[in-house]
Amino acid sequence: MPLIQPDPTFYPSAREAMSAPREGLAYVALLDTAGEGRPDGLATIDLSDGTIVGVHDMSVPGDELHHFGWNVCSAALCPYAPHPHVERRYLVLPGLKSSRIYIFDVKDDPWHPKLVKTIEPETVFKKTGYSRPHTVHCGTDAIYVSALGNVEGDAPGGVFTLDHDTFEPKGRWEADRGPQELHYDFWWHLGHDTMITSEWGTPNQIEAGPSLELLVGREYGHKLHVWDLSKRRHLQEIDLGDQHQMALELRPAHDPAKTHGFVNTVISVEDLSANIFTWYLEDGIWKARKIITIPAEPATADLLPEPLKQFGAVPPLVGDISLTLDDRILLVSCWGTGELKAYDVSDPFSPRETGSVRIGGIAERRPHPATPGRALNGGPQMVEASRDGRRVYFTNSLYRSWDDAFYPDGISGWMAKVDIADDGSLSLDPGFFVDFAPDGRRAHQIRLQGGDSSSDSYCFS
């Protein structure tokens, strides 16, 4: 009888995953700057030198690739839902605008992913009632996908699942959604059978770009929702305060014995700051506490896009956060000010800033050492840390209509790398700079070959 061995990229714990081999490739979602006429692409990057190995164009234009993920990961090793036969072989890429989902096979030739299946929007609409698929996470029993809204582009948004083997949509995940309407990200505490979800806005609220009216009216999302993961039932709502608009990325502790995590809010209507909250379980109740405030930075009106001129300042516009696998370093991308920050969150209630690098930014346009004479637009946006917690890769595009509002001269796509020292300090790698300008498309989500700090969940400490 042949012996079935788990995929070698799966690890029982985050601690063991930190000893994984160094990543050799990255996969990067590219979106057409005009949003029409040219398909989006999936780029493969050789991380040894930053070379673009190739770009696979999607089948049709207009998808707006955004976030994507693996079909399976280390969650397949959980003892209550083992899947020893599965392998980290497929990338699942949703089109945020089109609601089309692409499946790419990277097993036979990781350097050149092969498109093997396309799930058309009508199938997603019919089987789930949702549209605008956003985030992909590999769960213990299925592939989980978040969606920003219903077929009409309104609330509710939520989560649906795809079959691990056929990739066919299985249906809506929620059995009882309670008061939840808005949606963005989701993740879980597998050791406590709990899912956490966050809020941005409905497709009709966000697709045209940021709305000052909605912002001042405090109508974007500002809550977390707590769910019973196995029963698919809403348990609790945590309001972060309606001044803290757009509660986005969720980063739970990787150790399943821990009951805390981190979430960023993009902008405060009171002072334009961005904020980081810790959520935690105390006496059977899930709570949240603000732990970091990043202030806006003054700037003259001639350096600011129209939406910011009246304020005379650049908001940080934190769009992503990433937590190293040892639950020690939290990376925070300040897309507006062009800064990547690092905090030691070993004590999740008393963070300590350990490092910072600056590149791009709305007002500063700081260049990369590899191109010292070139002012860069965009700023650190999507952030991905290596499994050993030593390297951080990031790109500079947020979302097409929001790019155009804050960087009206247009974003020229790039990807950079930062090294993390033992003390948590950051240093920009002067020799690593991936320039997507010749391709003409913008870069967003990054996935690292074999897994990264936001791709896997673990059932063992």
Please report, in tens digits, the pLDDT of each residue of the chain (461 residues total).
456 678 999 999 999 999 999 999 999 999 998 766 899 999 999 999 999 999 999 999 999 999 999 999 999 999 887 776 789 999 999 999 999 999 999 999 999 999 999 999 999 999 999 999 999 999 999 999 999 999 999 999 999 999 988 999 999 999 999 999 999 999 999 999 999 999 999 999 999 999 999 999 999 999 999 999 999 999 999 999 999 999 999 999 999 999 999 999 999 999 999 999 999 999 999 999 999 999 999 999 999 999 999 999 999 999 999 999 999 999 999 999 999 999 999 999 999 999 999 999 999 999 999 999 999 999 999 999 999 999 999 999 999 999 999 999 999 999 999 999 999 999 999 999 999 999 999 999 999 999 999 999 999 99
Written as six digits, the tokens of 189 are 């505490």
Report d(CA 199, CA 84) in Å as an integer. Answer: 34
**Pairing mode of beta strands 130-138, 114-119:** unpaired
Give the CA dihedral 133, 138, 141, 144, nearest 10 degrees.
-10
| pLDDT score of 326 | 98
Residue among 315, 293, 332, 290 at smallest CA distance from 405 = 315
Look at residue 126 in the predicted model and tell me its pLDDT.
98
Distance CA 354, CA 260 (A): 21
Burial of 195 (0-12, 13-18, 19+ CB in 10 A): buried
Task: Take residue 431 and report the two structure tokens written for it.
Answer: 């020799």
Rounded to whole angstroms, how far apart are CA atoms 452 and 145? 18
- Residues 217 and 181 sit within 8 Å (Cβ to Cβ): no
If phi over 0 gives left and psi between -120 and 50 gives alpha, with beta otherwise, what is residue 419? beta
Q: How confident is the model at residue 36, as a pLDDT? A: 67
Please tell me the predicted confidence (pLDDT) of residue 35. 64
Tokens 């714990």: give the residue: 13
Distance CA 132, CA 149 (A): 7
The strand ranges marked E within 295-411 are 297-298, 313-314, 318-323, 329-334, 339-344, 352-358, 383-385, 391-395
Which token pair is 10?
Answer: 């799966």
Please, is 236 exposed, middle or buried when counting C-beta atoms within 10 Å of its C-beta (0-12, 13-18, 19+)?
Answer: middle
Q: What is the rounded distance in angstroms from the CA atom of residue 107 to the CA atom of residue 153? A: 36
Residue from 346, 390, 357, 440 nearest 20 by CA: 390
Spatial separation of the C-alpha atoms in residues 53 and 111, rounded to whole Å: 7
C-alpha to C-alpha distance for 88 and 192, rounded to whole angstroms = 25
**Are the beta carbons of 414 and 433 closer than 8 angstroms?**
yes
With respect to CATH, is domain 14-448 assigned 2.60.120.650?
no
Quote the tokens at residue 75: 């969650």
Whole-Å CA distances, 67 to 148, 270, 343, 420:
13, 30, 24, 24
Structure tokens, 456: 């896997």
- Domain assignments of the chain as residue spans, ordered by start: 14-448
Distances (CA, A) of 291 to 93, 268, 286, 347, 352: 33, 14, 16, 11, 10
| Per-residue confidence (pLDDT) for residue 164, from 0 to 100 | 87
